[in-house]
Amino acid sequence: MKIVILDGYTANPGDLSWKELEKMGSLTVYERTRPEETVARAADADIVLTNKVIISREVIAQLPCLKYIGVLATGYNVVDIQAAHERGIVVTNVPAYSTESVAQMVFAHLLNATNRTDHYATQNRELRWTANQDFCYWDFPHMELAEKTFGIVGLGNIGQRVAEIALAFGMKVKAVTSKPAVALPTGIGKADLEELLATSDVVSLHCPLTNRTRHMINPQTLQLMKPSAILINTGRGPLVDDQAVATALAEGRLSAFCADVLTEEPPKADNPLLKQPNAFITPHIAWATNEARTRLLQVVISNVKAFLDGKPQNIV
């Protein structure tokens, strides 16, 4: 059984181990694979594991030995699922491995936006405080989270964990969700998107990327939001129209934008968000704690073993 990992570096840059997979077959690990290299590298593979390398219908057609595709992530839009199913190829993903880490990043961003901890730490490395006449100083207004409204778009595993933390801060929580209001956990109210955007002090995006949700944050929906609102995106980059958000920040119609994902990754140097002082961007690392990546690899290994045992799990 030949196993090929097409882009293993981000999941395991060397601090974890592929040894359990080595026990299951002949394993080849590539740190990164360019699109033009995909077919040659996976040509005789029975099992292909991918994180961000696209496995399209055209690629699948050129891989006659392929029996299984394992996605090293929760989202599986990198694989043409229909083409795989037509060939009888099993496709699996890794659900819910990063829930705690992503929820933590949401609040790392939120607390930085409300308290500007990085701003002050940077200033005081440059001795700003030592030159101050008073025992303290601040050059941004600070916001207390208690009693503010936290709006969540998408109430899956991560959205629910974010809601729990927001409630622990004493915030009022609303959610856009397909779940009926009576089924929502205590403390979470159901709202439609327009109401949520108009009434929330913080809006956090946790819905999947679909044709319906692409650019759900756009010039029109931004007009609904409070100028003092903070927008957070740790979901999928294209949920947000980058230019529209950059313009809203520049014109003072949005207080802050916190994002761990962008439409194009890595972004081009001319991405308008990168130059906005109230845009706080991290490089898609919310999922990348050692703990989350350890869980990821454990599930990947379990998925492959289950497939080889004839009882595949986490099928998509």
Catalytic machinery residues: 236, 265, 284
Using DSSP, how many helices (H) and how many strands (E) does the chain show? 11, 12
Burial class (CB in 10 A: 0-12, 13-18, 19+), 93: buried
Q: How far apart are CA 202 and CA 115, in angstroms?
A: 14
Q: How far apart are CA 312 and CA 277, in angstroms?
A: 47
**Would you say 281 and 262 are in contact if contact means Cβ atoms under 8 Å apart?**
yes
User: Among candidates 58, 62, 56, 13, which has minimal Cα distance to 41?
Assistant: 62
Three-class SS state of 3: strand
Neighbours of 271 (CB within 10 A): 18
Q: Which residue is it, tokens 């759900």?
A: 216
Q: How far apart are CA 248 and CA 267, in angstroms?
A: 19
**Would you say 29 and 5 are in contact if contact means Cβ atoms under 8 Å apart?**
yes
Q: How far apart are CA 124 and CA 301, in angstroms?
A: 46
Length of the chain: 316
Cis omega (within 30 of 0) for bond into 272? no
CB-based contacts of 142, cutoff 8 Å, min separation 6: 114, 115, 116
